[in-house]
């Protein structure tokens, strides 16, 4: 049992501290990825960290629980889950831009080659933003609105139940109290 625990702990430590580079790819856990203006990376994948691409990303940019800032060009997809995506002025994303549970802020004259999808977040665009195909924005109120309504109903039901129990309890005592 102890041997399994040690092996599992070593595996988790290796996984969490992993830093992989293969064929110009950059994969990080808990460490930010920065692509300089004169640098080129194929894929940038980041878990629990941020990607700042001032240069060129020839592959995909994928971030989970972090933010993406594109100042240069991303030649494939840009995907962010639980994070924000920022496209600086004159940035280019050649394929899809997908953001789930985060906001998308695009500066002036940003080009998205195919689809722009913002699910349960917000979209803020500057002047001259071009999207090649579809622009889909599903605000968070669609998910959180019914949830908040259920929470309010739940709170009112509990409050009324507690008030009814309190009134029933206080009925047993005379009011005003006997001298």
Query: Residue 55: CB partners within 8 Å, gap ≥ 6?
Result: 35, 36, 37, 38, 39, 40, 41, 72
- Residue 79 CA to residue 117 CA, distance in Å, equals 9
Whole-number pLDDT of residue 175: 65
Tokens of 80: 């962010």
Tokens of 123: 């979209």
Whole-number pLDDT of residue 78: 94
Residue 78: helix, strand or coil by DSSP? strand
Domain boundaries, the chain: 2-139, 140-179
Task: Spell out the per-residue pLDDT of the chain, length 179, in tens.
Answer: 666 665 565 555 555 554 544 457 888 899 999 999 888 899 999 999 999 999 899 999 999 999 999 998 999 999 999 999 999 999 999 999 999 999 999 999 999 999 999 998 889 998 889 898 888 888 877 777 888 899 999 999 999 999 999 888 877 776 666 66
Whole-number pLDDT of residue 9: 59
Do 55 and 44 meet the contact criterion of CB atoms below 8 Å apart?
no
Whole-number pLDDT of residue 143: 75
Total residue count of the chain as it appears in this document: 179
Total Cβ atoms within 10 A of residue 99: 26
């Amino acid at each position: 049992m102890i041997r399994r625990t040690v092996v599992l702990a070593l595996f988790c430590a290796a996984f969490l501290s992993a830093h992989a580079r293969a064929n110009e790819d950059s994969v990080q856990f808990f460490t930010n990825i920065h692509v300089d203006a004169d640098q080129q990376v194929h894929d940038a994948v980041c878990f629990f960290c941020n990607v700042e691409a001032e240069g060129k990303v020839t592959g995909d940019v994928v971030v989970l629980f972090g933010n993406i800032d594109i100042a240069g060009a991303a030649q494939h997809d840009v995907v962010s889950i639980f994070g924000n995506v920022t496209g600086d002025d004159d940035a280019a994303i050649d394929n899809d831009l997908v953001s789930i549970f985060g906001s998308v802020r695009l500066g002036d004259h940003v080009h998205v080659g195919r689809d722009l999808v913002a699910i349960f977040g917000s979209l803020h665009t500057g002047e001259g933003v071009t999207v090649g195909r579809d622009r889909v924005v599903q605000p968070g109120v669609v998910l959180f609105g019914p949830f908040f309504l259920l929470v309010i109903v739940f709170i009112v039901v509990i409050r009324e139940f507690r008030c009814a129990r309190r009134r029933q309890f206080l009925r047993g005592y005379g009011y005003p109290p006997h001298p």
